[in-house]
C-alpha cells in the first residue's frame, strides 16, 4: 500500500445518499470518467451511495498525468477508499473497470478491511484470460477506430479535434494499462461476483466470462444481455433494478437471465 491520497480527487459523490446507504464504488471503462455513472447514481440515490471513480488525465483532472499501469491504479484507488469512512462497499466496474474492481477487492482484503459485499464485473473477461491486444501502440486514428468499433464515445467528441487532443492521451494510457495487465496467480477474492456480458460484445466470450469463477471462493453468476460492449446503456433499467437490491444482495433477483 502507498501513502493515503486525497479521496475527494478519486471518489465522486454525484448524489447524496442516506446515512445508512450501502456504498457502491463505480469504476469506468478505458477512456471513461466519473460522470458516466451520473444517471445510475441519480436512479439509486438515496438508498445506494454511488462513489464514482475519477481517473487522472480527464475532465477536471486533465492536467494530471494518466496512469498507464493497472496495478498502480488499483493501489491508488484502494488508498482513496481506505481514507474514507470504514465499512463494506460493493464494486461495479465496466470493461477495464471490472479488472480494477477485482484488484481493489484483493487489496482491501490485504489491508484487513471487509471483503466487498459483491463485485459486479461488466463487459470484461476474467482476469486470467488474455488476448493479444496492441491498441495502445496504434496511431491516433487507430485508437479512434477502436473506440468507434465499441461505440463507447459520442461521435461529437470524436469529431472535435480540440477535445480529442485532451482525450486521447488518457485513452491511450488506459488501453496500455489493461492490455499489459497480468493478474497475480494464487490471489483469490472471498466475495460473490455477478458477471454481466453482452451477447454481441467483441471483447468477451461466454467462456471467458465464466472463468471469473476461478477468482473467488464466493458464488459467481453470469448474466447475459442483448447488445454489444456497451449493452449496459440500453439495459440501464434492468441494471439499476439489480443494483438497487444491494442492501439484500445475498439473494439477487433473476432480472436478466434471458435478455
Active site residues: 95
Q: What does the alpha-carbon distance between residue 20 and residue 131 come to, in Å, rounded to a whole number?
A: 42
Beta strands across the sheet bearing 193-198: 11-13, 48-53, 22-27, 89-94, 119-122, 193-198, 220-225
Q: What does the alpha-carbon distance between residue 103 and residue 70 come to, in Å, rounded to a whole number?
A: 9
Across-strand partners of 50? 24
Work out whether the CA dihedral 108, 114, 120, 126 comes out positive or negative.
positive
Alpha-carbon distance values, 21 to 29, 49, 93, 236 (Å): 25, 6, 19, 21
Q: What does the alpha-carbon distance between residue 101 and residue 11 come to, in Å, rounded to a whole number?
A: 14
Main-chain phi, psi angles of 119, to 5 degrees: -110, 130
Alpha-carbon distance values, 175 to 4, 66, 143, 190 (Å): 26, 11, 9, 28
Q: What does the alpha-carbon distance between residue 165 and residue 161 come to, in Å, rounded to a whole number?
A: 6
DSSP code of residue 214: G
Amino acid at each position: 500500500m502507498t501513502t493515503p491520497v486525497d479521496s475527494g480527487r478519486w471518489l465522486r459523490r454525484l448524489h447524496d445518499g442516506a446515512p445508512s446507504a450501502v456504498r457502491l464504488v463505480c469504476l469506468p471503462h478505458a477512456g471513461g470518467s466519473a460522470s458516466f455513472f451520473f444517471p445510475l447514481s441519480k436512479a439509486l440515490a438515496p438508498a445506494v451511495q454511488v462513489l464514482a471513480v475519477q481517473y487522472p488525465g480527464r475532465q477536471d483532472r486533465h492536467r494530471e498525468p494518466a496512469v498507464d499501469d493497472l496495478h498502480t491504479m488499483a493501489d491508488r484507488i484502494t488508498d482513496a477508499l481506505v481514507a474514507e469512512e470504514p465499512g463494506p462497499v460493493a464494486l461495479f466496474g465496466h470493461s477495464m473497470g471490472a479488472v480494477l474492481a477485482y484488484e481493489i477487492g484483493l487489496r482491501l482484503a490485504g489491508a484487513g478491511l471487509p471483503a466487498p459485499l459483491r463485485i459486479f464485473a461488466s463487459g470484461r473477461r476474467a482476469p486470467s484470460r488474455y488476448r493479444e491486444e496492441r491498441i495502445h501502440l496504434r496511431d491516433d486514428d487507430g485508437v479512434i477506430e477502436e473506440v468507434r468499433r465499441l461505440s463507447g464515445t459520442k461521435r461529437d467528441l470524436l469529431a472535435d479535434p480540440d477535445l480529442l487532443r485532451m482525450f486521447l492521451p488518457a485513452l491511450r494510457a488506459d488501453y496500455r494499462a489493461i492490455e499489459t495487465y497480468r493478474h497475480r496467480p494464487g490471489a483469490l477474492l472471498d466475495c460473490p461476483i455477478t458477471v454481466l456480458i453482452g451477447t454481441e460484445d467483441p471483447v468477451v466470450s461466454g467462456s471467458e466470462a465464466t472463468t471469473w469463477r476461478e477468482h473467488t471462493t464466493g458464488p459467481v453468476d453470469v448474466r447475459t444481455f442483448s447488445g454489444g460492449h456497451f449493452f449496459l446503456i440500453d439495459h440501464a433499467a434492468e441494471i439499476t433494478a439489480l443494483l438497487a437490491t444491494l442492501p439484500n444482495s445475498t439473494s439477487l433477483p433473476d432480472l436478466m437471465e434471458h435478455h
